[in-house]
Amino acid sequence: MKSNIEKLNSYWKEYFEEAILTDFQLNPNKIKSVPEEIEAKFQTEFAPEPFYGYLTENISNDILMLLINPGEKDVNSLRIYYPEFAHLDDESLIKMSNHHIAFRHLHWGKNDFLKRELEFNKIPRDWRTKMKKMCEKAFKMKFDFLHTIEFFPYHSKNWKISKALKQEWIEQIEATNLAINTIHELSIERKPKRIIGIGKSWVEVLEHYNNLFELVREEKILGPSGKNYAHRFYQFKAKGYPNSLPIVIYVASAINLPSETEANNLLNSLFS
């Protein structure tokens, strides 16, 4: 019987195999079960990016960061990430990027991802490289790799998760259910060193799936004024599994992990 991690991986391998066969021409990015008015908000010309990393292999020295969805994508960003293809017209560049994402999901293993990280270091403004360094500083330890899982795998601009969680269609998305079940399994089996999320959206998601996750601890630190909270921490665990790896969601005004001593110590205590 396949694990949830294997099911997630297999689902997307099958998806991208079909997408390659159609050369991304027969709308392989159509979002099943999503109402048309919702689908219109997503950039379905770009291939979905459900997760990044080698989740089916050994990730014991790695960190997993939870993301809501891949965010907005544009052709100019592709020209930065693929400078050797910057001369292509927009349509060709999008197609090339889609095929690259498909190839990654179909063929990359651990060694491929680690090698690719070194290539990304050559790009001055790479988000993934910066986030890995920030995590290492916050947790005072080294990680071999930063994995990410998206709650919803399609690119979009300013998608609000709060409203979606109240709608029936969100629970009918197989890809999203597979992602949630994978996070649950990774926590139970304590696969990575850390599981972290930044921003209130993941608090809402984990509270929504209260059949799988439970809020164990909530901590808040007031700001200098003494009126508003500068740091908020939410520690979740897999429901019914007290020894599962904590999933900690950090909420602040900035999309960063805390560097102040008190807040940083509290963050680390939630994993001890």
Q: Of 193, 271, 206, 266, give the one whose Cα is nearest residue 239.
A: 206
Report the percentage of the chain scoring pLDDT > 90.
61
How many beta carbons lie within 10 A of that of residue 268, not counting itself? 16
Q: Of 98, 48, 89, give the one whose Cα is nearest residue 71.
A: 48
Q: Of 206, 239, 244, 176, give the one whose Cα is nearest residue 4.
A: 176
Q: Of 183, 187, 177, give the one whose Cα is nearest residue 237.
A: 187
Q: What is the pLDDT of residue 124?
A: 47
User: Residue 171: what are its φ and ψ, rounded to 5°?
Assistant: -85, -5
H or E stretch covering 91: helix 90-107
* pTM exceeding 0.85: yes
**Per-residue pLDDT for 44 more than 90?**
no
End-to-end CA distance of the chain: 32
- Give the range with max mean pLDDT: 20-29, 85-94, 234-243: 234-243
Secondary structure of 229-249 in HEC code, one letter for each residue: EEEEEEEEEECCCCCCCCEEE
For residue 85, the one-letter residue type is F
Mean pLDDT value across the chain: 89
Q: What is the pLDDT of residue 83?
A: 84
Query: What are 49-96's pLDDT values in tens digits?
Result: 999 999 999 999 999 999 988 888 889 888 888 888 889 999 999 999
Query: What are 133-142's pLDDT values in tens digits?
Result: 999 999 999 9
The Cα–Cα gap between 147 and 195 comes to: 9
